[in-house]
Amino acid sequence: MTKLEAMIQPSKLDAVKSALLEIGIDGLTVLEARGHGRQKGHTEFYRGREYTVDLLPKIKLEIVLRDEVVEQAVGAVIKAAQTGKIGDGKIFLTRVDEAIRIRNEERGSNAL
């Protein structure tokens, strides 16, 4: 099992959700985050003083997937979230040791 973490632009959330739903992935967690990579922030003014706001709003998606569908899911996220500009975001894949469904205590891929 693999965990897919994606940092994307907030405006792309709807597109990514739809794309994942289309390939049959219907469980995900969405977090509101702030951050930046190489993207510069923006300047705001307060009483004539310039402030750089470099922690920008981001959306973080977390999905745990069966290994067979990981590449499909990655492709779907990239297709929906990509604009070609700096600030598109990143995807990280990590191994998951175990998954358990709380309702009936099922384990493994069946719990996903």
Which residues would be at the binding site for another protein (CB under 8 A)? 44-49, 51, 53
**Burial class for 52, CB neighbours closer than 10 Å (0-12, 13-18, 19+):** exposed
16, two tokens? 């990514």
Cβ closest to another protein, residue 11 vs residue 52: 52
Identify which of 16, 35, 34 has the alpha carbon closest to the alpha carbon of residue 25: 16
Residue 14: CB minimum distance to another protein, A: 21
Closest distance of CB 30 from another protein, Å: 16
| Cα 79 to Cα 74: distance, rounded to the nearest angstrom | 9
Which of 53, 96 has the CB closer to another protein? 53
Please identify, using beta-carbon distances, which residue of 52 and 82 lies nearer to another protein.
52
Q: How far apart are CA 99 and CA 93, in angstroms?
A: 16
Least Å distance between CB 93 and another protein? 32
Q: What minimum distance in Å lies between the beta carbon of 89 and another protein?
A: 25
Q: 29 or 94, CB closer to another protein?
A: 29
Is the four-CA dihedral 75, 79, 84, 89 of positive or negative sign?
A: negative
